[in-house]
């Protein structure tokens, strides 16, 4: 059996309903993020049925897939666009994130040629040091928007937790709300949305500490995996097994737990370190780094431990697994966001929906 990504659409719908309920209570627009599963339309429809009012994805190819599937909600580019893909953004997206004045100017020119409006969220960096303008650049960007007829700034947003690990707090999100007010004053126009991040912001809803004025969240991990990696926690009331990875055992053999001979770098340039636990029953399953991120796999069977992987071999310690595994048996793993992203992207991994 080929390595397989098993996606339970009903569990994704249920996770989405739960997040949508929490967002609705605080007047927040829930945008579903489909990039973790390559914009699969089946998942997109499950998110919409669960309560997502729009969808975001970081790849134009995925937006095209969603548009061709006739999803009934607006779709937006989640990543700052490349200049070379702006025409496709205009064709397949209702909106995009922006952080460069030159990009806004080019979008306005291209939209004008097509007589087509495009919504944009202006990204502001409040500390994580990924994309976004500095707050003191707001006047310059307001001037860029004042020159636009076809490009409409419908909100401002920020990214938190993805690069610098900076967590959403009432302090940094209140600053975002203040900057939205500054942009409205400079434009003399309403700026409806304040997009306060993603899954890592949900804890502020749980603790009733979300600043008033934040009315938009871009959520993927919580809907797909029921977890928040920024705090290493599973979210209460959510399914953690909506997306699972499966792979078949192709070798079972008792071997030493420490390699024999002089140890150098492995196939990926890392020098491994081993604990001597004596002879152990080891399994190899037919999957590797071409298929999935092994560090992000959590076996669902007790007594199974991930040792590591090469390109196409995943090595497991199964000494304590009961009953004793058999050749050809399929093992199942829960996944981190990174593991899911890799498996969804790999053409070697089958995708099955239920």
Question: Among 266, 340, 346, 348, which Cα is nearest to 307's?
Answer: 266
Question: Among 236, 241, 242, 227, which Cα is nearest to 46's?
Answer: 242
Among positive and negative, which fits the CA dihedral 246, 247, 252, 256? Answer: negative
Place of tokens 């007047």: 27
Among residues 11, 24, 25, 35, the one annotated as catalytic is 35
Cα distance between residue 318 and residue 87, in whole Å: 52
Query: Is 35 a residue of the active site?
Result: yes
Cα distance between residue 275 and residue 291, in whole Å: 26
Q: Tokens for 22?
A: 């929490």
**307, 321 in Cβ contact below 8 A?**
no
- In Å, what is the CA distance from 166 to each residue of 98, 128, 159, 172, 288? 21, 5, 9, 10, 31
**Cβ-count burial 279-292 (b if 16+ within 10 Å, e if not):** ebbbbbbbbbbebb
Query: Which are the catalytic amino acids?
Result: 35
């Amino acid at each position: 059996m080929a390595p397989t990504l098993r996606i339970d659409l009903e569990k994704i719908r249920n996770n989405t309903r739960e997040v949508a309920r929490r967002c609705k209570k605080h007047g927040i627009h829930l945008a579903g993020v489909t990039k973790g599963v390559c914009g699969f339309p089946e998942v997109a429809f499950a998110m919409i049925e669960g309560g997502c009012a729009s969808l975001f994805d970081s790849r134009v190819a995925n937006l095209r897939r969603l548009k061709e599937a006739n999803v009934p909600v607006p779709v937006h580019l989640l990543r700052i666009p490349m200049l070379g893909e702006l025409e496709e953004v205009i064709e397949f997206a209702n909106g995009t994130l922006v952080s460069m004045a030159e990009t806004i100017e080019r979008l306005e020119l291209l939209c004008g040629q097509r007589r087509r409006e495009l919504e944009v969220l202006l990204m502001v960096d409040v500390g994580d040091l990924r994309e976004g303008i500095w707050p003191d650049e707001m006047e310059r960007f307001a001037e860029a928007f004042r020159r636009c007829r076809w490009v409409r700034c419908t909100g401002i947003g920020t990214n938190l937790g993805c690069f610098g690990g900076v967590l959403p707090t009432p302090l940094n999100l209140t600053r975002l709300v203040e900057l939205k007010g500054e942009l409205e004053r400079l434009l003399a126009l309403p700026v409806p949305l304040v997009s306060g991040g993603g899954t890592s912001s949900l804890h502020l809803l749980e603790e009733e500490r979300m600043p008033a004025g934040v009315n938009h969240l871009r959520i993927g991990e919580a809907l797909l995996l029921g977890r928040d990696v920024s705090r290493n926690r599973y979210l209460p009331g959510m399914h953690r097994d909506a997306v699972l990875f499966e792979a078949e055992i192709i070798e079972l053999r008792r071997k030493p737990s420490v390699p024999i001979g002089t140890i150098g770098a492995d196939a990926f340039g890392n020098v491994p370190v081993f604990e001597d636990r004596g002879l152990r029953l080891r399994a190899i399953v037919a999957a590797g780094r071409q298929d999935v991120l092994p560090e992000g796999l959590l076996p669902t069977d007790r007594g199974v431990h991930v040792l590591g992987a090469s390109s196409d071999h995943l090595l497991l310690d199964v000494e304590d697994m009961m009953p004793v595994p058999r050749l050809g048996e399929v093992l199942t793993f829960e996944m981190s966001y990174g593991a899911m992203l890799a498996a969804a992207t790999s053409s070697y991994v089958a995708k099955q929906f239920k």
